[in-house]
Copies of this chain bind each other. A is one copy, B any other.
Amino acid sequence: MPASRLYYDCDTGIDDSMALAYLLASPEIRLAGIGTVSGNVDSAQAARNTLALLHLAGRDDIPVAVGAADPQAGTYAGPVPHIHGHNGIGDIALPDAAPPRTDLDAADLIIQLAHSHPGELRILTTGPLTNIAEALRRDPRLPSLVADITVMGGAARHSGNVSPVAEANIHNDPEAAAQVLAAPWDITLVPLDVTLAHTLEETDRQALLDSGRPVPAALGAMLEVYFDFYLATYGRRCCALHDPLAAAVAVGAVAPTLAPVVDVVVDATGGPGRGQTICDLRGAYLGFPPQPGARCRVVLEAGPDSAAQLLKRLLTL
């Protein structure tokens, strides 16, 4: 089976950097294009970080499109230096990169790739869904042209991380997320339920640093800041695997162990639930019987060796 073409939408970000490296190391997919969006950092900085990482990996050939600067409603709330550092990649310095290889914005890059390979393109997102919603607006036929979409975001039974019920990617643009999750395509949602359950530990970080390879070593260095942040969550220096786990699920290298296909709606009100991914998990006692019309596979659990598998692949890059 030839490698699938994958479009990756991100707000690079330390864990987006890990996801990008993971994708570059994945034989199951061919990275056909990348778009950036404002989230962990603004979309322009996210593009700079992405280009620098691609350059470090010797992959200047992959087009990187700058995407939306602001969410659909309101303006970008700003970066989160206490989580990702001031530059989004843990304040490490990377060599200067080549300029972007496309003049398209992210939404148009998605549309171009989808039309070039109808029915084949796969999408992975690890940031707010602003670009995807914009692509849907520009071309409502998009879902019929795309094979599937994997979204890191939301929280099902687990707490949120920016409110008691909302996760950051969804909360940063709930209107866009509501549109993307309501569109008629097969979606895999990778929420906090599973991404917080799998961690990289200090020994893993040391393995990246000691790898003698530029990309893993850069990841190990930028994780310093990220590990500091997660001390307040876990009570130890380590980190959740949000974006790389979504990448591993998207390419099929990590198989979910519990992932019911259920109805999911996004709370886009101005109320206390704003940004929540409301997943209909009422069938839990019966093992989640089919829900007619449901198209969203919600990854609730993955095997206990997921983090180890993930690290192993990162070390091959």
Contact = CB atoms under 8 A, between A and B. Distances in A.
Prevailing SS type, chain A contact patch: loop
Contact of A284 (B159, B165, B273, B282): B159
Given A158-B157, A164-B263, A278 B286 contact: no
A285 B240 CA distance: 12
A316 interface: no
B278 A267 contact: no
Contact of A276 (B233, B273, B282): B273
A270 interface: yes
A196 B158 CA distance: 18
Interface residues of A, number: 29
A269 interface: yes
A111 interface: no
Interface in A285-306: 285-286
A268 interface: yes
A252 interface: no
Interface of A: 157-161, 164-165, 196, 233-235, 263, 265, 267-273, 276, 278-282, 284-286
The 3 closest A-B pairs by CB, nearest first: A269-B271, A273-B273, A164-B280
